[in-house]
Amino acid sequence: MAIRSRRPGAKAALLPVLLTGALALAACSSGGSSTTSQNGGTTAAAKTLVIDTSFDLKTADPGRTYEPTGLIIGKAAYETLLTFEGSDVTKPVPALAESFELSADGKVLTLKLRQDATFADGSPVTADDVVFSLNRVRDMKGTPSFLLDGVEVAKSGAETITLTSKNANPALPYILPNPALGILNSKLAKEHGATADTGDKAEQYLNSASAGSGPYTIESFNVSSQVVLKANAKYWGATKPVYDKVVLRNVEAATQKLNISRGDSQVALNLSGDQVTGITGDLQIKKTPAANVIFLLANQNPSVSKVTSNPKFAEAVRKGVDYAGLLELAGEGSVQAPGIIPSMLLGSLPPDQAAKRDVEGAKAALKESGVANPTVKLEYPSELTVNGLSFQPLAERIQANLKEVGITVELAPAPITTALDNYRNGKEELGLWYWGPDYPDPSDYLAFLPGKLVGLRAGWKAGADKELEAAGAKAATTIGDEARKQAYVDVQTKLNAAGTFIPLIQPSQNIVTAKSVTGLEFHPVWTVDVADLK
C-alpha cells in the first residue's frame, strides 16, 4: 500500500486476521509433505510453501487489482507481455512477447507475440487475447486503468500488437510488466461476464478460478484469511513451479515472527527491523531498501503558511534534519534517500548527492529567512506504518532536530482518513508522508513537480518554478535509457534545490525465509515472484 495517486489508504482500512490455529492445509519447515497411495505406497512428495503476510487484498481479477497482495497473486497466475529479471527494474525483458520495439518518437510500441504460450486450459495465447485483456483494463475504469490512459491497443498482424500513445511514452515498457496487465483467456473470460467496459461482470469468476497462463492457478481465495495457489499442470514455460501449492496467509507481523521461528511458515514478508533483530535459528533474513521513499513537504502556498513557503525556511529544514539519526530509527537495511526517486529505479540520484546535516548552515538560512522563532505544525498519519516503521518516532526525531536549529515543531498526528484529507487538499504546513512507485519508472515521480498531483498537495502551483517544469517536460519525452537517466537526475537535482520536498529515507524491506527456500528476490511491484522460489 502506498499513499499515492491511485490506491490511497487501502491497507489502513483492512486489519490483518490473526491466524493462530491449525490450518486445514498443514505445512512443515522443509516446505514438503508426502502423500500415501491407496495401496499403502508413497507417492512423490507434494511440496507446499506457506507465506505469511499482512493482506492488502481486494480481488484476484487482474484488471481490478492494484493492492500489494493482489499483485503477488496476479504475478503467479497471469503473465504479461513484458517482465523484469529478478529484482532488476531498470530493464524490461520479453515474457509473452518474444520481442518489442519502441518507435524513434516514443509513440508506438510494437510487440511480437511468442507462439508457444498456452493458458491453464491448454488453449494458445493469441493476439486477440492480448488486445481484449489490455482494452479491458483500460476501459473498465478500475483502479489500474490509469496505466493505459491514452494508449490505443490494436492487432497489426497475427502475431503482432501495437500500443500507440498520442505523446511520447517511453515509460510504457516499464508499465507493461505490472500484473494488473496480465493477459486473460478472452474466450473463457467472456463466458463468465467479461465485456471490456464498465459493465464487466467477470470479477466473481476470476476470484474463484484462473484464466491466465501463469505457473500457478487459484485453488481458493478468501480476501480476509488465505489464498491457495496450485501449480499449473499445463504450464508452458521451460521452468516449472517447484511447489505444488503455495498458501498465502493473512497474519499480523508479531505472529509472522512466531510462525516462521517455529517452522509453521517458510516465508514472512512484513517484519520490521526491530522484529528481525531478534530472529535466530535456521532462518535467512533478506534486507533490502524498499521502494518507498519517506519525505517531508513544506507547503508553498502563503495562504496556508507564510513560514513554510519561505525558501530559506525550507533550506533550514533540509539542513537541520539529522538523516543519520533517522536511519538509526529505521534499522539495518534502510538507506538515506538522495532524491525522491528510489535507489533501484532508473534516474535515481547517487548516494553522494544526499543532503547532510549542517546545523550552523540551517541556523544561517533561518536567519536569512527573516522569520524569527517560527512555530509550524507537522502533520502525519498516526496509525500508518511503512515497512514496519511507524511515523511517530520519525516525527519526534525531526521535532528534536529542528528545535536545535531554532524551529518549534508542533506534532499533529491524525487518523489516516483525516490526515489524507488535509494532505490531498494541500492544507498541511509541514507533512510527513511516503510515496511508492505506481510503476517502476522515473516518470511516475514527475507528480512532485509544480502543478502536478503531489506538487499541488504541497501548494505548489504550475508556473512556480518554470526551469524545473521545463526539465520535467523534457524528461517525460526523452527516449533512450542513458538520456532518460540524465534527464531525471537533472529533475531531481533541481527539485532538491527548490526545497519543497525533502527526501528522508527508504526503509528496509525485511523478508525472512526458512533455509530450505531459495531464489527469493524482493521486487518493488509484486514483492515476491512465488514461481522463482525453490
Query: What is the per-residue pLDDT across 390-424, written as a single tens digit (0 to 9) for each?
Result: 899 999 999 999 999 999 999 999 998 889 999 99
Tens digits of residue pLDDT in 197-220: 999 999 999 999 989 999 999 999
Between the CA of residue 473 and those of 236, 484, 491, 518, what are the distances in Å? 42, 12, 10, 43
Flag the least confident range among 133-147, 171-185, 382-396, 480-494: 382-396
CB of 89 within 8 A of CB of 343? no
What local confidence, expressed as pLDDT, does residue 445 receive? 97
Nearest-angstrom CA–CA distance, 181 and 508: 28
Band of pLDDT at residue 24, cut at 50, 70 and 90? very low
Quick one: average pLDDT of 140-160? 94
Q: Which three cell numbers stand for residue 427?
A: 492544507
Is residue 27 scored above 80 in pLDDT?
Answer: no
When the pLDDT of each residue in the chain is averaged and rounded to a whole number, the result is 90
CB of 384 within 8 A of CB of 12? yes
What local confidence, expressed as pLDDT, does residue 19 receive? 39
Architecture category of domain 293-506 in CATH: Roll (3.10)
Q: Which three cell numbers stand for residue 199?
A: 459493465
Give the pairing of strands 375-381 and 408-414.
parallel
Nearest-angstrom CA–CA distance, 365 and 382: 30
> Which residues, at least 6 apart from 426, have a Cβ–Cβ distance to it below 8 Å?
299, 301, 304, 456, 457, 458, 459
Between the CA of residue 513 and those of 73, 389, 403, 418, what are the distances in Å? 19, 20, 42, 37
Tens digits of residue pLDDT in 288-306: 999 999 999 999 999 999 9
Between the CA of residue 395 and those of 288, 402, 411, what are the distances in Å? 23, 11, 7
Nearest-angstrom CA–CA distance, 387 and 290: 8
Domain range summary for the chain, segments of one domain joined by +: 11-287+511-532, 293-506
Q: Which three cell numbers stand for residue 348?
A: 535515481
Q: Which three cell numbers stand for residue 27?
A: 505445512
What local confidence, expressed as pLDDT, does residue 5 receive? 39
What local confidence, expressed as pLDDT, does residue 278 receive? 78
Number of residues in the chain: 534
What local confidence, expressed as pLDDT, does residue 405 receive? 97
Is residue 114 scored above 50 in pLDDT?
Answer: yes
Q: Which three cell numbers stand for residue 355?
A: 543532503
Q: Smallest Cα–Cα separation from 178: which of 298, 74, 55?
A: 74
Band of pLDDT at residue 279, cut at 50, 70 and 90? confident
Class of domain 11-287+511-532: alpha beta
Band of pLDDT at residue 26, cut at 50, 70 and 90? very low
